[in-house]
Amino acid sequence: MEILSHIGKFMAMAIAAGVIVFQLGCMAQGRESAPVAKQVPHSAKPGDADFPQRCGWGQPERHRLKVDKIKTEKYDLVLIGDSITQNLETGLDGESFAETWDKHYAPRKAINLGYAGQQTQHILWNLMNGELDFVQSPKVAILLIGTNNTDDEHFGSNTFNGEKTFNGIKAIVDLIRQRHPTTKIIIRRPYPCGVRGDQTPFHRKFVRSAASAAELKRAGDLASKLADNKHVYWSDVNKIFLRPDGKINTDLMPDLVHPNAAGSKLAAEALEPLLAKLMGDKLVHAARLK
């Protein structure tokens, strides 16, 4: 019953966010798991952040269309994640992110595998069910995931601590490495998130406990150690979302978790030097982190 109460509290906010409403399916019905495969860590069990789990009715048509494209078209770049990644393609609150997508990603033959509301175990299921069946291995995969795993305000008993969230991130990285050994992987530190007591003038606010926010940071700290700068790389651009006092800049992240178009543009510019290097192509305008 705990998870249902969280869903009820979250529904009004989620509907207003449009694409974010798909989180409800993941929370309410996300218990169908993929068959155990060799890619699943030996220690993982159903319900873990590193065990593949289908996300209920969390955009099955989007998944089907993506798999169809992956099996028929060639991509050099793949973006993997939750709503923060999906918004680059579908927008948010009526705001288009096309400028950033068309400038930094589309010219690089990119495909967007972001799904609103999904956690690491759901992304694992997607990848193990067709989303890694590329005609040829992408040059680069960008992974941004983990904020939903640690969100105790909206996911209730489906919340994970930092170490378990890291296990999910690692499982995704390991799976990509197994399936596409030549693909370079950029792990992005999960973006900062609002905590209870934070304020915003925006019509929607996503916050969580300070303890959960600390677990998200912990997951990122652990994930950073996966980088070997040969196959796996680390990117932390979170400073761009913070004011001098350490609080989230609501001009760039109005609801305290999702960057708006301006925030996503700055994040893409901050990633650009590393991305261009790994893609082996021309540098697009890049922002300097202060």
Contact 168, 214 (CB under 8 A): no
For residue range 73-123, list pLDDT tens digits in order.
999 999 999 999 999 999 999 999 999 999 999 999 999 999 999 999 999
Phi-psi region of 9 (alpha: psi -120 to 50; beta: other; left: phi over 0): alpha
- Provide the pLDDT for residue 4: 37
φ and ψ of 213, to 5 deg = -60, -40
Contact 286, 269 (CB under 8 A): yes
Minimal CA–CA distance to 119: which of 65, 167, 168, 156?
Answer: 168
Which residue's entry shows tokens 């697009």? 284
Q: How many helices (H) and strands (E) does the chain have?
A: 10, 9
Instruction: Say if pTM beats, i.e. exceeds, 0.75.
Output: yes
Distance CA 162, CA 60 (A): 28
Distance CA 166, CA 145 (A): 10
One-letter amino acid for residue 64 of the chain: R
Q: Between 3.40.710.10, 3.40.50.1110, 2.40.50.100, 3.40.50.720, what CATH number should domain 2-279 receive?
A: 3.40.50.1110
Helix H or strand E segment including 195 = strand 194-195
Minimal CA–CA distance to 145: which of 221, 75, 216, 214?
Answer: 216
One-letter amino acid for residue 275 of the chain: L
Residues in the chain: 290
Distance CA 109, CA 20 (A): 26
Domains of the chain, by residue range, sit at: 2-279
Low-confidence ranges of the chain (pLDDT < 70): 1-39, 41, 57-58, 286-290
Note the helical H segments in the chain. 2-16, 23-29, 60-72, 83-90, 98-100, 120-126, 152-155, 162-179, 210-224, 261-279
- CB neighbour list of residue 164: distance below 8 Å, 6 or more residues apart: 48, 49, 50, 149
- Provide the pLDDT for residue 3: 42
- Provide the pLDDT for residue 286: 63
φ and ψ of 101, to 5 deg = -60, -45
Rg for the chain, CA atoms, rounded: 17
- Provide the pLDDT for residue 57: 56
- Provide the pLDDT for residue 36: 41
